């Protein structure tokens, strides 16, 4: 098919060969020349050359008949009636498609104005912003998590999406009311240890710094006088030095892969979530994270969606691994996992060490500073 209009010409009689030679000498491009019988020849000619054909045909005694026209100009003129409305419909569909993927309206409900403002600010940075592409924003559960994590006052976030508008409902946590009528309690030691420091909010301390306490010993009492008549609740922290013997296993193999800090971003398109096509392959990089970016049409999610993938390049081992430092870090991590995140390791000593090919087993003695208080209700005997 030619982008210029073509005409099928039937030439009858005369000296067709000479006629053709004359045509090509004058630069007319002739295509698909076919002899039907002795008299008739069919061929395709550019339709702009028709006047020239008509002018020269008499010299060679040919009769011309013009049949089909083809090529884009003729195709257009044939479809003149219904093509523009069709193009219009397609364009308007595209327009709706485009607009369906824009965030139009965001309403934040609930909470105090300050919190709402803070939430709004945060939403802006997460891409949930009026006029933004839906594909450019983080997905809803990420936004919810992000709000919950970064704004302390918010205790619940619900994001509901209706069409291209988003409604964000926030619930603020109410500050705990001081319960004056609490039951009288003591604080007792949950573990044996040496008291390092105390912070008593309410009650009467019975131990002193550097005292050694056994498990179950009373640390802070709710009895304010000796006779046990004035009772209150005990509240506070008693930080004590506690000893542990722990077994730690450190695996070296996990330190053999180093990550390069910058991830490579790749886009892919998928149909029905199954046929995925990534124009620029990821090579042998390792997938770090992929995010789905659905495409909307009005309220519906289209089966076509595109995805964002982040890859990182894996590099072979760090040439010089500071093993001792790594052991130290890994031990600290494992201790925190075993004893709780808030503990403060003050002293550690390896009692026994055993090394395999890429594992180290350690038996350790550690001193840790932690809060050992445990609440215990004072039995009033009634």
Partner 1 sequence: MKHIPSKFSRWLTNYGMLPKDVIYDYPRVTMIGNIHLYIENHKGLLSFDETTITVKQDQGKIIIQGKQLVIKNLLAEEIVIEGVIDNVSWESST
* Interacting residue ranges for partner 1, rule: CB under 8 A: 17, 20-21, 24-25, 27, 29-35, 43
Q: Between 24 and 89, name the residue whose CB sits nearer to partner 1.
A: 24
The single residue listed with the structure tokens 């000619």 is 45
Strands 218-221 and 258-259 turn out to be unpaired
Name the minimum Å distance from CB 85 to partner 1: 38
Q: Between 31 and 276, name the residue whose CB sits nearer to partner 1.
A: 31
Name the minimum Å distance from CB 45 to partner 1: 10
DSSP structural state of residue 49: G
Contacting residues for 48 by C-beta, under 8 A, at least 6 apart: 4, 5
Q: Between 5 and 184, name the residue whose CB sits nearer to partner 1.
A: 5
Contact 105, 131 (CB under 8 A): no
Q: Which two tokens stand for residue 252?
A: 């070296």
Using CA of residue 192, residue 198, residue 204, residue 209, what is the dihedral sign? Answer: positive
Name the minimum Å distance from CB 31 to partner 1: 6
Name the minimum Å distance from CB 26 to partner 1: 8
Using CA of residue 314, residue 320, residue 322, residue 327, what is the dihedral sign? Answer: positive
Angle at 377 between CA 375 and CA 382, to 5 degrees: 180
Q: Between 34 and 80, name the residue whose CB sits nearer to partner 1.
A: 34
Q: Between 35 and 337, name the residue whose CB sits nearer to partner 1.
A: 35
Q: Which of 334, 331, 343 is nearest to 191 (CA)?
A: 343
Using a 10 angstrom Cβ sphere, with 0-12 exposed, 13-18 middle and 19 or more buried, the burial of residue 352 is exposed
Name the minimum Å distance from CB 34 to partner 1: 5
Name the minimum Å distance from CB 23 to partner 1: 8
DSSP structural state of residue 104: -
Q: Between 20 and 250, name the residue whose CB sits nearer to partner 1.
A: 20
Q: Between 41 and 207, name the residue whose CB sits nearer to partner 1.
A: 41
Which residues does residue 309 pair with via DSSP β-bridges, in sequence order?
266, 290
Name the minimum Å distance from CB 10 to partner 1: 15
């Amino acid at each position: 098919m030619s982008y210029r209009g073509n005409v099928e010409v039937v030439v009858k009689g005369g000296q067709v060969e000479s006629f053709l030679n004359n045509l090509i000498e004058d630069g007319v491009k002739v295509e698909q020349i076919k002899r039907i019988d002795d008299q008739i020849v069919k061929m395709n000619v550019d339709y702009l050359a028709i006047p020239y054909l008509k002018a020269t045909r008499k010299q060679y005694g040919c009769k011309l008949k013009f049949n089909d026209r083809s090529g884009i100009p003729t195709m257009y003129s044939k479809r003149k009636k219904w093509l523009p409305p069709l193009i219009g419909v397609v364009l308007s569909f595209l327009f709706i498609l485009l607009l369906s993927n824009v965030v139009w309206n965001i309403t934040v409900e609930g909470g105090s104005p300050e919190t709402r403002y803070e939430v709004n600010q945060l939403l802006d940075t997460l891409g949930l912003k009026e006029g933004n592409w839906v594909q450019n924003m983080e997905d809803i559960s990420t936004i919810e998590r992000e709000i919950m994590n970064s704004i302390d006052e918010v205790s619940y976030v619900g994001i509901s999406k209706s069409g291209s508008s988003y409604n964000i409902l926030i619930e603020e946590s109410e500050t705990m009311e001081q319960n004056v009528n609490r039951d009288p309690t003591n604080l007792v030691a949950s573990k044996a240890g040496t008291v390092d420091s105390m912070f008593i909010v309410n009650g009467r301390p019975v131990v002193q710094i550097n005292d050694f306490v056994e498990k179950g010993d009373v640390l802070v009492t709710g009895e304010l006088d000796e006779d046990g008549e004035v009772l209150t609740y005990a509240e506070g922290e008693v930080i004590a030095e506690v000893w542990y013997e722990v077994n730690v296993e450190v695996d070296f193999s996990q330190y053999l892969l180093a990550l390069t800090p910058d991830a490579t971003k790749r886009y892919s398109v998928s149909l029905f979530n199954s046929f995925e096509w990534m124009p620029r392959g990821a090579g042998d990089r390792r997938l770090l994270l992929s995010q789905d970016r659905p495409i909307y049409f009005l309220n519906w999610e289209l089966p076509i969606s595109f995805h964002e993938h982040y890859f990182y390049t894996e590099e072979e081992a760090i040439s010089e691994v500071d093993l001792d430092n790594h052991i130290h870090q890994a031990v600290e991590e494992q201790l925190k996992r075993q004893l709780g995140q808030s503990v403060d390791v003050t002293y550690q000593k390896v009692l026994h060490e055993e090394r395999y090919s890429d594992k180290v087993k350690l038996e350790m003695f550690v001193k840790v500073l932690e809060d050992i208080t445990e609440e215990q209700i004072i039995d009033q005997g009634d």
